[in-house]
Amino acid sequence: MHETVRTSPAGSERALSAAYDTALLDLDGVVYAGGAAITHAVDSLLTAREGGMRLAYVTNNALRPPQVVAEHITELGVPTEASEVINSAQAVARLISEQQPAGAKVLVIGGGGLRIALRERGLVPVESADDDPAAVVQGYGGPELQWGRFAEACYAIARGVPWYASNTDLTIPSGRGIAPGNGAAVEVVRIATGAEPQVAGKPLPPMHRETILRTGAEHPLVVGDRLDTDIEGAYNGQVDSLLVLTGVTDGAQLLAARPEHRPTYVDADLRGMLTGQPEVVAEGDGFRCGGWTARAGERLELDGEGEPLDGLRALCAAAWTHAGAGVCELDSGKVLARLGL
């Protein structure tokens, strides 16, 4: 379980793959980027699973059905079943099914993944506000989603139909760069209606609950690259987390992280699941990890040499403990450059 306020990355004498029964893995920025496997990801996942750790893939992307995602991961080199993929479409479909009667019609603003998840919960997807829906659900529909679909949602919401969203990620990575995500589409409907949706995806509890229900994990480790979805989701679910630096979060953002965005562990990539984690120790007016010592006062300081990640862990302890973490952020670029991070 996480501390109320984490002030330092944790250490672990055991390999994380042995200390936790299930890895709840984000996909984009953790397992793959632009569809291609991230360096060391495939070998690390296979080794962790061979050692007895169960793998589950948890994504806010409601467009692709679990079977399609599983086939993609399998093609990358990690044989995966559809049951090992949990998405925000499944989480929002369960949320709707708990509040609406069996067989209720649901107006779908999104892609195929939403329709499959709704049918799985005994709900009936419909396409028009004139189909007398009991609910509206909005999920990522890809670049081909027509503008008129937003209007359809607005018509139904204006009639008092409850509105649900799979997730509110403002952006989504693509092979060409950063593209608008479902959160941007949700904003369109929010602005037009003044309404607020019930949201299921990371970092909110419905997504974590869906993941635990489907995996049966008793001592899970959330593994992700985003502070505001993966790490905050672990915080809200009161489970431990591993931040990998293969995606969107950089060292400066990590040092300035709010309490709910501070991971239990930090490592370069998924190889971090296969090892223990070094301890960060309070020493004098600073913090030591490996050969590095970090201090935070009016300035953020780093002394020593050794493994760059140890320096980052020590810096995290100094910045997170210091009451003026925002002041520390001003110095973070200089000290992180020394680590090559």
pLDDT digits (tens, 9 = 90+) for 39-69: 999 999 999 999 999 999 999 999 999 999 9
- pTM of the shown model: 0.93
What is the pLDDT at residue 244? 98
pLDDT band at 1 (very low <50, low <70, confident <90, very high): very low
Q: Is the pLDDT of residue 93 over 70?
A: yes
Q: Check pLDDT > 70 for residue 329.
A: no
pLDDT of 195 over the 90 cut? yes
pLDDT band per the 50, 70, 90 thresholds, residue 176: confident
Domains, the chain, in order of start with CATH, read: 18-60+202-276 (3.40.50.1000), 90-199 (3.40.50.1000), 278-340 (no CATH)
Which of 11-20, 26-35, 105-114, 292-301 shows the lowest mean pLDDT across its residues? 292-301
Least confident piece of the model among 87-91, 142-146, 241-245: 142-146
28 is annotated as an active-site residue:
yes
Mean predicted confidence (pLDDT) in 259-287: 96
Measured between its terminal Cα atoms, the distance across the chain in Å is: 28
Q: What is the pLDDT of residue 47?
A: 98
The angle at the Cα of 335, spanning 333 to 339, to the nearest 5 degrees, equals 105
Confidence band, pLDDT 50/70/90 cuts, at residue 330? low
Q: Between 176 and 182, whose confidence is greater? A: 182
DSSP assignment, residue 242? E
* Local confidence band at 325 (pLDDT 50, 70, 90 cut-offs): very low
298 vs 259, higher pLDDT: 259
Over residues 227-249, the pLDDT tens digits come to: 999 999 999 999 999 999 999 89
More confident residue, 340 or 314: 314
Question: Would the pLDDT of 324 be above 60?
Answer: no
pLDDT at 35 over 70: yes
21: annotated active-site residue: no
Average pLDDT over residues 202-211: 96
pLDDT tens string 95-130: 999 999 999 999 999 999 999 999 999 999 999 999
- Judged by DSSP in three states, 84 sits in helix
* Catalytic residue (choose from 21, 28, 169, 285): 28
Rounded distance between C-alpha atoms, residue 37 and residue 31, angstroms: 6
CA proximity to 55, closest of 20, 87, 11, 90:
20
Nearest in space to 89 (alpha carbons), one of 58, 108, 123, 61: 61
3-class DSSP state for residue 251? helix
Banded pLDDT at 173 (limits 50, 70, 90) = confident
> What pLDDT does 26 receive?
97
At residue 298, does pLDDT exceed 80? Answer: no
pLDDT above 60 (res 141)? yes
What does the DSSP assignment read for 268-300? Answer: SSGGGGGS-BPPPEEETTEEEETTEEEEESSSE
Q: 34 pLDDT band (50/70/90 cuts)?
A: confident
Other beta carbons within 10 angstroms of residue 252's beta carbon come to: 16
C-alpha span between 171 and 169 (Å, rounded): 6
> Is the confidence at residue 2, as pLDDT, over 50?
no
Q: Please tell me the predicted confidence (pLDDT) of residue 331.
A: 65
- Confidence at residue 20, expressed as pLDDT on a 0 to 100 scale: 98
Under 8 Å between Cβ of 287 and 31: no
